[in-house]
Structure 1
Amino acid sequence: MRLSHFIRWCNEQEIDNINELTGRKLHQYRLWRKRDGNLNRVSVRTQLSTIKQAIKLWESIDAVEPDLHEKVDIPELDKGENARSVMIEANQADAILEHLERFEHASRRHVIFLLLWRTAMRTGTLRSLDVDDVDLKEGYIRVVHRADYGTPLKNKSGGERYVAISDETCYVLEDWIEHLHPGKRDDHDRTPLVATNYGRISKSNIRKQTYWVTAPQFVNEECSCSSSPHAYNSIHECDDAVSPHALRRGAITHMIRSDVPKEVVSDRADVSSDVLDKHYNEMTEKEKMEKRRGYLKTI
């Protein structure tokens, strides 16, 4: 049902009659839905457009105040922007990592961003990792499906794999584990790699940390959105901050642009070749042509 999220929000807000809706409440719904669904601007625009059409219908039967649909704040998109184009670029990721290394070395936030960018793993995969899954001497992370212990993988046992990590990543993880890890265990008596003072980190916490470091203000750049000044608890309102999924998309695209073979990217990121081409390869048509040119110089 296309209005299911809106109905859920109304229930949470104890809105029993749609004639209680106002422009202010619709704005609150927009912020809630972006945060709750981990949505980019494209998805927010699509879902709010659905709400706007529904409100027009309700107006026609006098179920809501007149012209309420005009108060639905639908974000504008840049030319050519679509659901596949929302991602982080390699130069931005490098700037964030440089800032984290300098000012927040081996912090929880540093570990989260570093692993999401270097491995292109999903949020759920990152959350599933235990300290014992990391082999710093051999330089790899073991990814395991543990549904009975609270950390399933999206592709279940099919998503289990070994992920190689660089010496640089090992150094950061070693400092985190040895010096800054809170030492907390989860409800299943496991020691999460990414732990908080309360145990295993939540997916929402990972999302918020990602929004925070990808907002331009984090590296002392200006933001183009109207949400200013930014506060940690409202960082999801920044249109220039991106979600972990946008980070995964950017990391995969960066590997492809760097001539990493498709089968290697597929295995590392746990994504099929078909899905890789359809949803994650963000190379432009011209970039694809130039890459093909490199293999066809003698033809």
Structure 2
Amino acid sequence: MSRTNRVPEIADETDTEKLLRQLQQATEATLEPTEPEEALELYVEDKARECRKSTVASHRSRLGFFVDWCAEQGIDNLNNLSARDLHEYRVWRREDLSVNTEKTQMDTLRVFVEWCETIDAVPSGLFKKIKSPSIPDEEAARETTLHVSDAKEIVEYLRRFEYASIEHVAWVLLTETGMRMGAARTLDVGDYRPDADKPHLDVVHRPETDTPIKNGPRGERRVGISDDVCAVVDDYLEHQRPVVTDDYGREPLLATVQGRIAKSTIRRYVYKRSRPCTIGRECPHDRDPDECEAAVDPDHASGCPSSVTPHPIRRGYITYLLQAGVPVDVISDRCNVSPKVIELHYDVRSEEDKMRQRREVLDEILRDGSGDR
């Protein structure tokens, strides 16, 4: 008995084209015309319900470039946004950006486009077409560090020439505690506890009065401080701190005549003093301090190749503790940073160094244990 293989009939080409057109029209019919700027405002409003102000501001800033680019390209309806458009934007945006910054920009854009699907502003699945550079862990972890020895030299200079000034106190807090700049800004006079059994600072999350901290309530902690730190802060409070409250009637520890210090002011202090020439060192960049704009104008201090932001102070502090053999969980609690992040971004010890430090701790424990017998 013979068997005949039947070949399915191929639909007429015009029928196929008609079907595809109908599917495309059905998809387009589900989309709501949305201007890029309108989508951004809706997105920011939604984000504000679940994120801190600083995070929302960062997203608005990054996505602002995308909205501007859309305007230049004549894209006034996100319904028409394509994978080709997104690629062209990435090529345009990454000019003069580091790989890390490009990744941050494109990751934020992907989150935004995915959110736009929830309001029927873009075709389904479009966010998956957004490419972001892949960065190896070791490259992502290579960040600028201000070594503890350099930070202490700056603090010593301030002790000699600007003792107990607000700038001196800001540097002391950052270098002696490893706390984030934002945490230092949140401190009130009442959070300074020099008379406790163990002098410390209370780091408290107070978002309702504009002083949130990283990780919210989970980031609240007591940070022990030394007698030397207390001496500087005591003299600052007695002789230098202006009698002032912030907009909420609180007494900020780091205060100017306007009230609570701004993050930008702390950042300016760090840029200013991390320039080697300002503490009597020779310029390592072969520049003439009398002609170098970064040297003669504090507003351009960030232009010095040696100047840093506040975070490298924290990174140097954590790295120093690790190299000194302080257990990771102790550093984690003190500095409000997870062990995983410490390992990835701060731990520059070799495996041999780690083994040696573990052995020293074990030897000390075993030695103490045998002494109790």
**TM-score scaled by length of structure 1:** 0.71
Q: Is residue 324 of structure 2 the alignment partner of residue 258 of structure 1? A: yes
Q: Which residue, 155, 166, 173 being the options, matches 1:97?
A: 155
Distance 2:304 2:354 in 1: 32
Report how far residue 143 of structure 1 moved: 0.9
Deviation at 1:167, TM superposition (A): 0.1
Structure 2: stretches of 5+ with no match in the other structure: 1-58, 74-94, 106-137, 364-373
Q: Is 1:86 paired with 2:147?
A: no
> 1:255 aligns to what SS in structure 2?
helix
Corresponding residue of 1:241: 307
Alpha-carbon distance in structure 2 between the residues aligned to 1:162 and 1:212: 29
Q: Is 1:228 aligned to residue 286 of structure 2?
A: no
With normalisation by structure 2, the TM-score equals: 0.58
Give a deviation string over 1:225-264, Cα, whole Å, max 9, x none: 8692422111111221111111111111111112222221
Q: How many residues align?
A: 247
Distance (Å, rounded) in 1 between the aligned partners of 2:232 and 2:264: 23
**Could you say what the CA RMSD is over the residues aligned between the two structures, in angstroms?**
3.5
Query: Are residues 259 and 128 of structure 1, via their aligned partners in 2, closer, same or farther at CA, if it must alter by over 3 Å?
Result: same
2:186 aligned residue: 128
Measure, in 1, the Cα distance between the counterparts of 2:61 and 2:360. 47
Equivalent position of 2:18 in the other structure? none
> CA–CA distance in 2 between the matches of 1:204 and 1:136?
28
Residue in structure 1 matching 2:227, options 159, 164, 167: 167
Residue 117 (structure 1) shift: 1.1
CA gap of 1:219–1:284, structure 2 versus 1, over 3 A, is: farther
Answering whether residue 236 of structure 2 is matched by residue 145 of structure 1, we say no
Q: Which residue of 2 aligns with 1:272?
A: 338
Distance 2:257 2:267 in 1: 18
Higher relative contact order (CA 8 A, sep 6+): 1
Give 3-state SS (helix, strand or coil) of 1:141's partner.
strand
Q: Distance in 1 between matches of 2:162 and 2:67?
A: 40
Matched, 1:181 2:241: yes
* Range that drifts further, 184-193 or 273-282: 273-282
1:24-48: per-residue Cα shift (whole Å, max 9, x none)?
xxxxx98xxxxxxxxxxxx857548
Flag the 1:44–1:96 CA change in 2: closer, same or farther, 3 A. Answer: farther
Alpha-carbon distance, 1:173 to partner: 0.4
* Comparing 83-92 and 222-231, the one that deviates more: 222-231
Residue pair 2:141, 2:346 contacting (<8 A) in 1 also? no
1:178 Cα deviation after fit: 0.9
Q: Distance in 1 between matches of 2:270 and 2:217?
A: 27
Opposite residue 292 of structure 2, the aligned amino acid is: S
- Relative to structure 1, the CA distance from residue 166 to residue 50 in structure 2 (aligned partners, 3 Å threshold; closer, same or farther) is closer
Structure 1, residues 259-299: CA drift from partner, whole Å, max 9, x if none?
222221111101111111111223355644553564688xx
Provide the C-alpha distance between the structure 2 equivalents of 1:126 and 1:232, rounded to a whole number of angstroms.
22
Q: Is residue 148–residue 317 contact of structure 2 (8 Å, CA) maintained in 1? A: yes
Q: Which moved more, 1:81-90 or 1:172-181?
A: 81-90
Alignment of 1:46-61 (within 5 A): 46-47=100-101
Contact 1:192 1:200 in 2 (8 A): yes
Identity of aligned residues (%): 37
Q: How does 1:60-75 map to 2 (within 5 A)?
A: none
Return the index of the structure with the highest Cα Rg. Answer: 2
**Distance (whole Å) between structure 2 residues aligned to residue 286 and residue 4 of structure 1:** 45
Q: Evaluate the alpha carbon distance shift between residue 44 and residue 214 of structure 1 in structure 2; reply closer, same or farther with a 3 A threshold.
A: farther
